[in-house]
């Protein structure tokens, strides 16, 4: 049953839609680091903005919406799940690309669009049948994305690339989708007073306004590629740099913090009693490395010693990787090959053959 929207809510919904379009245009045309990921996020925002517009218009008195447009709305709903997953994959894996098989994710949306144009069912019946399928479809993709978010391998990949800010934004978008599903679930099973069905577009509009405000305030989502003078306003002096560098290198040798699997830039800065931004600048400018390359260098040095140590000959490569601070075998192999030019197994065999 269609319920007329209060004008103030309708206006707010359209403001949220406009905000979503502006954010999408910024993401699609900007020169951010995660350009591919931002393109998928832009597409996701445009899809949700289209749904909000159609739903809001269909509940406004005196506004005529063609039946097939209401049905096309559901095909857009089938796009939300795949775009969320693609956005997350692009954030967590910089080399991820849309390949031939990935286009199969869009088949439900295409079929729904064709069916919506050609079928003879009333919109009410069409809604009753398809809204359940749509919700299950979206929840499946959100669950898959959530599983990937919790995966230790994905987190390691993000840490190696230093893209924690983008990963955090992906988490926020994921949480947003979970809340939308919760509201949709309540609406679907009518566990609500009359009029609650309009909360979904209103909630989405509210989120869009919040994303725009937070994104502009924190400059995380819309941040451009780093410029040459990114530290122009830094308070780090030459004398402080000298002291911090000596303190850092001494601490790394004596305390061996790199053996901690969960070590982060913020944690190390706290242990050293150095501001996090100063430590980051020191690593980038003086040592020409990002945090994870710096830490992994020490881990690989420690691993190389263990691999050729006779007393450690009975240890497996996996156990050595764990001992020096790596969370996974695959990450250890990737970093070792990058720094040494061969795999840990080859390195160990080479030493043994030389020793003979």
DSSP string over 206-232: HHHHHHHHHHHHH-STT-BPPPTTTTT
Which pairs with CB-CB distance under 8 Å and at least 24 residues apart come from 286-294?
Answer: 286/241, 286/245, 287/245, 290/162, 291/162, 291/264, 291/265, 292/159, 292/160, 292/162
Give pLDDT, residue 251.
Answer: 94
Q: How confident is the model at residue 206 (pLDDT cuts 50, 70, 90)?
A: low
Assess contact for 332 and 321: CB atoms under 8 A. Answer: yes
* Per-residue pLDDT reduced to its tens digit, 19-64: 778 877 877 776 555 678 888 888 888 888 887 777 777 666 554 4
The mean pLDDT value for 328-333 works out to 83
| CA gap 303, 324 in Å, rounded | 6
Buried b (16+ CB within 10 A) or exposed e, 95-115: eeeeeeeeeebeebbeebbee
**CATH number belonging to domain 7-218:** 1.20.1070
Parse the chain into domains and list their residue ranges. 7-218, 238-355
In percent, the amount of the chain with pLDDT more than 70 equals: 68
Ramachandran angles phi, psi of 32, nearest 5°:
-70, 165
3-state SS string over 228-292?
Answer: CCCCCCCCCCHHHHHHHHHHHHHHHHHHCHHHCCCCCHHHHHHHHCCCHHHHHHHHHHHCCCCHH
Supply the Cα-derived Rg of the chain in whole angstroms.
26
* Per-residue pLDDT reduced to its tens digit, 151-173: 766 666 665 555 566 677 777 77
Give pLDDT, residue 160.
Answer: 57
| CA gap 133, 127 in Å, rounded | 10
Tell whether pTM > 0.85.
no
Which residues share a beta bridge with 224? 32
Residue 246 pLDDT > 90: yes
Q: How confident is the model at residue 98 (pLDDT cuts 50, 70, 90)?
A: confident
State the CATH architecture for 238-355: Orthogonal Bundle (1.10)
Secondary structure letter of residue 351 according to DSSP: H
Give pLDDT, residue 69.
Answer: 61
């Amino acid at each position: 049953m269609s319920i007329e929207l209060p004008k103030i809510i309708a206006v707010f919904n359209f403001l949220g839609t406009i905000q979503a379009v502006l954010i999408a245009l910024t993401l699609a045309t900007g020169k951010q680091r995660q350009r591919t990921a931002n393109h998928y996020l832009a597409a996701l925002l445009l899809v949700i903005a289209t749904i909000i517009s159609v739903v809001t218009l269909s509940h406004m008195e005196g506004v005529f919406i063609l039946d097939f447009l209401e049905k096309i709305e559901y095909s857009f709903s089938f796009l939300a799940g795949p775009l969320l997953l693609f956005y997350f994959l692009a954030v967590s894996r910089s080399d991820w690309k849309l390949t031939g098989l990935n286009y199969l994710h869009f088949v439900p949306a295409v079929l729904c669009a064709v069916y919506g144009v050609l079928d003879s069912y009333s919109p009410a019946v069409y809604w009753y049948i398809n809204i359940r399928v749509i919700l299950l479809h979206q929840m499946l993709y959100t669950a898959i994305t959530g599983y990937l978010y919790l995966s230790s391998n994905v987190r390691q990949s993000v840490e190696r690339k230093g893209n924690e800010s983008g990963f955090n934004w992906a988490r926020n978008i994921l949480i947003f989708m979970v809340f939308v599903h919760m509201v949709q679930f309540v609406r679907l099973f009518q566990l609500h007073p009359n009029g609650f069905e309009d909360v979904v577009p209103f909630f989405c509009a509210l989120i869009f306004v919040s994303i725009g405000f937070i994104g502009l305030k924190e400059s995380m989502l819309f941040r451009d590629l780093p410029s040459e003078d990114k530290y122009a306003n830094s308070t780090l002096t030459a004398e402080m740099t000298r002291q911090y560098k000596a303190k850092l290198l001494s601490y790394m040798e004596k305390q061996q913090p790199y053996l901690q699997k969960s070590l982060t830039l913020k944690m190390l800065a706290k242990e050293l009693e150095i501001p996090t931004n100063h430590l980051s600048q020191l690593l980038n400018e003086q040592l020409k490395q990002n945090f994870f390359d710096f830490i992994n260098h020490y881990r690989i040095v420690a691993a190389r010693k263990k691999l050729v140590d006779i007393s450690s000959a009975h240890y497996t490569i996996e156990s050595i990787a764990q001992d020096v601070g790596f969370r996974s075998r695959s990450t250890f192999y990737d970093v070792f090959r990058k720094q040494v030019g061969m795999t840990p197994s080859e390195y160990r065999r080479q030493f043994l053959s030389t020793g003979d």
